[in-house]
Chains A and B, each alone.
Chain A
Amino acid sequence: MQHFEDLSHKKRAIYIALLNYLNPKQAGQATDIWIKEYSNKSAFELQSYITRITRELSVKINRKDIQQSIIKMLLNDSPDSNDKKDEHEYLAKETPATEAQLPHIVFSSFMMQWLSEVEKINADLSLSIKRYISNNLIKLELNFDDMIKIKTWLNTKGNNLYIKDLTIEQMEKIFHFCYVGSCEYIGPVKTDKIVSEVAKIVGQMPDAINFSPKKFF
């Protein structure tokens, strides 16, 4: 699991660093090369990697600058970059998830889609539901860090929630808090409608083939 987190973090850092010098398509291609051939190599291979991408993508960039940028990003991944649309599109194309990651991916996709549907009706109601979930997290008996991670995740968009210790039962409970909050703030009829629509959308995700979102119901 730690490997997955590291890999995801590095991939993200490299992609964001490359975006300063390459267009999103080139940055994506370059990141793919890193994943396939350099992700399991030592940090000393960075120079070799940069040489290769400048050659393969036929781009003229200052290798020293890009190297510094990548190192900087690897050491400190800026959260501000979350808002960049192009970055999202690429990062959404994650490496194939392992079986253990599937519930987390499907769960977070479902929740985010659900809350964004509520937001379309009324952004304040979406906030109220998030607050309701946050207030009830204490019932899950999570450790403090994980609870903070979930709260942060609820208030940011687009990232999959992956907390190693979060069990399917706990995800079910978070899902349930969202359901109860949604019933309270937008009503049970609209809630059931949104849930069934979101289930259809998320059910079409490739990851949902191996882990149905209905398992959270």
Chain B
Amino acid sequence: MKTIMTLLLFVAELTYVYAAESATATVATKESVDTVWIVMAAALVFFMQSGFALLESGMSRAKNAINVLMKNYLDVCVGSLVFWVIGYGLLFGDNFSGLIGTSHFLLNEHTDMDYSLLLFQTMFAATAVTIVSGAMAERTRFHAYLVGAVFISGIIYPIFGSWVWGSLYNGKGWLAELGFIDFAGSTVVHSIGGWVALAGIIVLGPRLGKISPSGEIRQIPGHNLTLVALGGLILWLGWFGFNGGSTVSADTSIGLIILNTHLAASSGAVGALVMMLMSRQPILITNTVNGSLGGLVGITAGCATMDPVYAMITGFIAGIIVILSAKMLELMKLDDVVGAVAVHGFAGAWGTLAAGIFLKGNMFDSVQILTQFIGIAVAFVWAFSTAYIMYKVIDKTIGLRASTVDEQQGLDYSEHYEIGYPEFHTEQMHKGK
């Protein structure tokens, strides 16, 4: 009997040890898979930079193509460094006040998951900065632009982000406490970028000749619409990582999130198309691409919390909003080269509202909708006012606007001494400064 008891005890102990080891192994495997997903999603979001670069340079004139590409390229470089130094800490660090993160600066000697999250979030910061470059293209001094990029990725974006997402370690952002929903950043990333761009184009003023002395608004078409379409499609692909990766874990919700993302992009383009037809505008590829981007921006806030049919509605309305708001900005004589304010600012605001309206299990809840309104308004006030002051200060100190001579020559020559399309220029025209 004693022997049997001893044997049973031994088997029980073995089972316990095996179960414990198995649980540990499962957790480790889950963490590994999560890491793979986060890193892959980060790579997809990084690829969005190519999309932005192609889209923005394609919508600019040939003489400014290099300048646009340089801005996009350095947005990633400068934005990543600044975000590592200060941005990540401000956004995700211990946030006991609900207003600002206070730890995790210069992230070093931390856990593997911290590094994965930093990588993923760095790509988000770079995206917020890049949104601005397209709107301010063709007339902004390169160095002044970079100073702005540092401030956006180091201060404007992370501080607002901490109000919504600042609950990763300790504490919680005050907007998150209110119940504000922004899953992947319709407002935190896109509207913030859009409102900063709005401040930038107001301080800069329109491009030379964009508005005639009699007030007529002139179209200045981009030099390569093939790049625009390709850039739009690359952004679309990258968005699967942007929204899908925001789960920060490899779970089964990713399928719905990416499906919603795709449907919203498709319906955004259709919405833009319908709006162009209804307003008897020509069916432009630039507007169509912007419509789908508007759909993507719009669904970013609620992609994890709404059913596909509502994702489609959100995207469709976002497409319409993109066309209408672009027209409105034009009537206000604001020169947004790529339509970034319409796509990221206005469609982002709508998407954030839609996330509250179509919230699964709590649709049309007035309190939730009001909370969304507050978040949208706060984002506008914060981003627009800080960016406006920032660009005004830059303008008064180092000068934000390129000279008319530089605009005439094209910023490729005047800022970089390079030419994007040398076969069209049989001799080097620029003599330097």
Contact = CB atoms under 8 A, between A and B. Distances in A.
- Our verdict on whether A and B bind, yes or no, reads yes
B208 interface: yes
A215 B429 CA distance: 6
Interface stretch (A33-41, A43-51, A62-70, A183-191): A183-191
Contact of A184 (B213, B408, B409): B213
B212 A189 contact: no
Nearest to A178: B408
A184 B404 CA distance: 12
Interface in B42-79: 61
B179 interface: no
A217 B408 contact: yes
A176 B218 contact: no
Given A188-B218, A217-B408, A183 B429 contact: no
B109 interface: no
A217 B431 CA distance: 10
Contact of B220 (A180, A189, A212): A189
B429 A185 contact: no
Contacts of A215: 429, 431
B278 interface: no
B213 A189 contact: no
Given A212-B427, A214-B429, A188 B208 contact: yes
Interface in B364-417: 404-405, 408-409
Contacts of A189: 218-221
Interface residues of A, number: 16
Given A180-B404, A217-B409, A188 B429 contact: no
A179 B208 CA distance: 10
Nearest to B213: A184
If over half of B's interface residues share one DSSP class (helix, strand or loop), that class is named, otherwise mixed; here it is loop
A176 B406 CA distance: 10
Interface residues of B, number: 18
B212 A187 contact: yes
Given A212-B427, A214-B429, A191 B209 contact: yes
Contacts of A182: 209
Nearest to A216: B429
B429 A176 contact: no
A215 B425 CA distance: 12
Contacts of B431: 215
Nearest to B208: A183
Contacts of A185: 212-213
Interface of A: 176, 179-180, 182-185, 187-189, 191-192, 212, 214-215, 217
Given A214-B427, A215-B431, 20 more contacts: A176-B404, A176-B405, A179-B408, A180-B208, A184-B208, A184-B209, A184-B212, A185-B212, A187-B209, A187-B220, A188-B207, A189-B218, A189-B219, A189-B221, A191-B209, A212-B427, A214-B429, A215-B429, A217-B409, A217-B429
User: Which 3 A/B pairs are nearest by Cβ-Cβ distance?
Assistant: A183-B209, A188-B209, A187-B218
